[in-house]
Amino acid sequence: MTLPGIFIHQCIMYAKENERLGRNASFHMYNTRNKNDLNIPYHRLKRTQQPVNYDSIVLYNKLPYHLKESTTNQLNIALKKILINNTFYSVQEFLDFSFSENKSAH
């Protein structure tokens, strides 16, 4: 696994273990397509964003629904398979990655 892959894995597992960060559904009662995503806190200035929290939420929200709803152990195993089978040399490559085209995510 590459260094960015390790960073991605750690961030996503941090977000999964700290789901107290709040899902979008906990802030409103509307049935939106992103209701199961973690809420990204608004910061007026970029330097006031806490990098680990912010990056973790963005990376976690990139995951398909079935991975977000899996247990921590299942997510850990599936995420390792994805990161080993698809070599990411930057976080942006992971964010640009299409899970629908890749069947190794299941």
The whole-chain average pLDDT of the chain stands at 79
Domain that holds residue 10: 3-105
What phi, psi does 2 have (nearest 5°)?
A: -75, 165
Percent of the chain with pLDDT over 90: 36
| Residues 61-72, mean pLDDT to the nearest whole number | 88
Indicate the pTM of the whole model.
Answer: 0.71
Checking if the pLDDT of 103 tops 60, the result is no
> For 77-101, what is each residue's pLDDT tens digit?
999 999 999 999 999 999 999 887 5
- More confidently predicted of 16 and 40: 16
> Mind giving me the DSSP string for the chain?
--HHHHHHHHHHHHHHHTGGG-BGGGT-----TTTTSBP----SSGGGS-HHHHHHHHHHHHS-HHHHTS-HHHHHHHHHHHHHHS--SSHHHHHH--TTT-GGG-
| Residues 67-85, mean pLDDT to the nearest whole number | 92
Overall number of domains in the chain = 1
Q: Would you say 68 and 36 are in contact if contact means Cβ atoms under 8 Å apart?
A: yes
What is the structure's pLDDT at 83? 94
